[in-house]
Structure 1
Amino acid sequence: MLLTRDTLPETIADTEALDELLCRPTQALIDDLARVDGDIMILGVAGKMGPTLAGLAKAACPGRRVIGVARFSEPGAEDWLQARGIETIHCDLLDENALRALPQAPNVIFMAGRKFGAEGDLALTWAMNAHVPALVAQAFCRSRIVTFSTGCVYPFVNVDGKGADESVAPDPPGEYAQSCVGRERMFEYFSKKYSTPGKLFRLNYAIDMRYGVLHDIATKVLQGKPIDVSLGHVNFIWQGDASSQALRCLAHCEVPTSPINVSGHEILAVRDLAAKFGRLLGRAPVILGTEQPTAWLTNTSQATKLFGLPVVDTDRLIQWTADWVARAMPSLNKPTKYEVRDGRY
């Protein structure tokens, strides 16, 4: 079954149903992948979003090789991928020899990086977010490369505007976000040097029932914990929609590589989201702080023009999340830290 607005369920029963929904392709994804030839390799596949993207790629083009590369240090991810027909390769991307031994794939999705705990070992953060991209960009200079980045590369913008578009120069606070600018610059440099087509996929907050901005807010509402609204506005996107757009970017790669903002098209107030969860969960939100006039927000007009609006809209995401949290369904216990303003993660 293809994913359309008409096929969305009212509730997501369990993790198996969630995985199936996240990995269900749209016709638009199938059509865009048909425009690019060859295998798809996903570097850093074992993170929060990688398995979804790999499963979605395989579902959209079942006759093609989809190869997932990671250290696979946490149990479960490799078995999950292999059960869906995705090949797996163990590789530490900091090992240049191991990296160069990987098979050449015409299509590469680069998802490796370090965020949480970044402040605890800044040298490792820079190595993963800037050195590894330089190695990958050279090892796969003949491939199309879609590079996962973040909206955190932008400076804060006024919450009354439309968000930062791709013309806004990166100027973020904190070494984590600065290292992400380094990641982009490495891919940009080698894209120019080797004429490697690419896209810099600046993602703001993918939503999965087990984690994400909405999961964080809903959980705090349910538990009566204070919700800090000093960074009071966000935008976000269903993880399935984000994964689909990343794969569709393979059909829109350019030389030199260029950025594209990916998130929901709405700018939403954290206070309003908390109030909606309060009504759905029967709990009064506990609000802390006062909204600041700026936040990390992106303008997704370019992505909307290329891909259309996300299939899953904000209201449905809120309803799904409230239902999931109310039933005490599984959580990854990985807060997004969306409320952090100084860039220290």
Structure 2
Amino acid sequence: MTTLPETIATEEELDHLLSEPTPAAVAGLSQAPGDLLLLGAGGKMGLSQALMAKRAVDQLGDNRRIIAVSRFSDLAAREALQQHGIETLAGDLLDEDFVASLPDAPNVIHMTGMKFGSGAQPSLTWGTNVYMASLVARRFRHSRIAAYSTGNVYPLVPIDSGGSQETDPLAPIGEYAMTALGRERMFDFLSRRYSIPLALLRLNYAVELRYGVLVDIAQQVWAETPIDVSMGYANVIWQADACAMTLAALGETTSPPFVLNVAGPERLSIRETALQFGDLLGKRVEIVGQEQPSALLNNGEAGHRRFGSPRVTADQIIRWIAAWISSGGRLLGKPTRFEVRDGKF
């Protein structure tokens, strides 16, 4: 792995670091030959996932196609992918005719989902998270599929529990989380019906320097706005490590689906993280609320044993984010709302 820098100065440097594949990611693609289709690649993780796949393919020395699919409402995202030799296709994945028109590919990564605004548009949320999964799984019933899910399918658990494990009962809170479980159930049903090799990846939470739980906390500290610690703890994982685990999982898809939590090893205290940002940013930190005895926590140990521990610690990411924000680095302006406890997004 590249030696980690003390700070990250540019987005070009950041994107390069976010797209560095692990040996497990390269091995996963070597066990999953053929073209790779990334659905929903215009989102926050799309560029990192696609670039990492391209770099892993280059290491393998084969000539498979990497094809990114999205509505691409952000044209800059499409251009960035094309500049790196990744093919792009624009269209609506809720359009059955468009999904039917997509090229065959032995490997598919399903990255789409709707969370924010789900309370105001529940039918669209169900369509995006559940109906779309049916369209994709039926269209690509002869492919391997790695599908992103979320830790929100689990209930809040005691903070000293070690976090939810893959075999724990699912108990989603709120309508968004119910649709996330619906997406899993649809993929599971069609995997079993058509013997689709599939992996379900319960992510909680991907972070980098432009968005994520840690950026949310840092921005509040920087602005000297109160930090609510009612959701007292959280898991995070460096986005590159999440993308690498996804590529690694392509090589181990099964029917019924292989289920894996994608989370970092640390249980981060929101209070202590805010105070750490206060020290790094030279800001006064105001804490409000009181930590509740439960939180949304995932146990990622099974993935670490299988594919290797995350390469970047939460402490390193915190220091990078502090330097990024204090130097005026660009942010995506997409808050995670990790602090929500009632499931209403």
TM-score bracket, normalised by the shorter chain, equals over 0.9
Q: Measure, in 1, the Cα distance between the counterparts of 2:271 and 2:304.
A: 26
What aligned pairs does 1:1-345 form with structure 2 within 5 A after superposition?
3-4=1-2, 7-62=3-58, 63-345=63-345
Is the CA contact 1:174–1:343 (under 8 Å) kept in the aligned structure 2? yes
Q: Measure, in 2, the Cα distance between the counterparts of 1:129 and 1:313.
A: 31
Q: Measure, in 2, the Cα distance between the counterparts of 1:28 and 1:200.
A: 17
Q: Measure, in 2, the Cα distance between the counterparts of 1:200 and 1:334.
A: 24
Q: Measure, in 1, the Cα distance between the counterparts of 2:75 and 2:341.
A: 33
Alpha-carbon deviations, 1:137-178, whole Å to 9, x = none? Answer: 100011111010000010110001100001112111110010
TM-score when scaled to structure 1?
A: 0.97
The amino acid that maps onto 1:295 is A
Q: Measure, in 1, the Cα distance between the counterparts of 2:204 and 2:52.
A: 20
Q: Measure, in 2, the Cα distance between the counterparts of 1:303 and 1:155.
A: 20
The amino acid that maps onto 1:243 is C
Is the CA contact 2:27–2:251 (under 8 Å) kept in the aligned structure 1? no
3-state secondary structure, aligned to 2:245:
helix
Q: Measure, in 2, the Cα distance between the counterparts of 1:303 and 1:56.
A: 19
Q: Measure, in 2, the Cα distance between the counterparts of 1:112 and 1:218.
A: 27
Unmatched 5+ residue regions in structure 2? none
How much has 1:284 moved relative to structure 2? 2.2
Q: How many residues align?
A: 341
Is the CA contact 2:25–2:246 (under 8 Å) kept in the aligned structure 1? no
The amino acid that maps onto 1:240 is A
Q: Percent identity?
A: 48
Alpha-carbon deviations, 1:1-60, whole Å to 9, x = none? Answer: xx34xx111110111111111112233322331122111100011000011100110011
Is the CA contact 1:58–1:64 (under 8 Å) kept in the aligned structure 2? no
Is the CA contact 1:163–1:299 (under 8 Å) kept in the aligned structure 2? yes
Is the CA contact 1:201–1:259 (under 8 Å) kept in the aligned structure 2? yes
Alpha-carbon deviations, 1:207-235, whole Å to 9, x = none? Answer: 11000011111111111011110001000
Q: Which runs of 4+ in 1 moved over 4 A?
A: none
The amino acid that maps onto 1:95 is D
Q: Measure, in 1, the Cα distance between the counterparts of 2:214 and 2:327.
A: 15
Is the CA contact 1:206–1:239 (under 8 Å) kept in the aligned structure 2? yes
How much has 1:269 moved relative to structure 2? 0.7
Q: Measure, in 1, the Cα distance between the counterparts of 2:250 and 2:25.
A: 10
Q: Measure, in 1, the Cα distance between the counterparts of 2:27 and 2:168.
A: 31
Q: Measure, in 1, the Cα distance between the counterparts of 2:211 and 2:266.
A: 20
How much has 1:265 moved relative to structure 2? 1.1
**Between 60-69 and 207-216, the greater mean CA deviation after superposition:** 60-69
When the two chains are superposed, the root-mean-square deviation of aligned CA atoms in Å is: 1.0
The amino acid that maps onto 1:26 is T
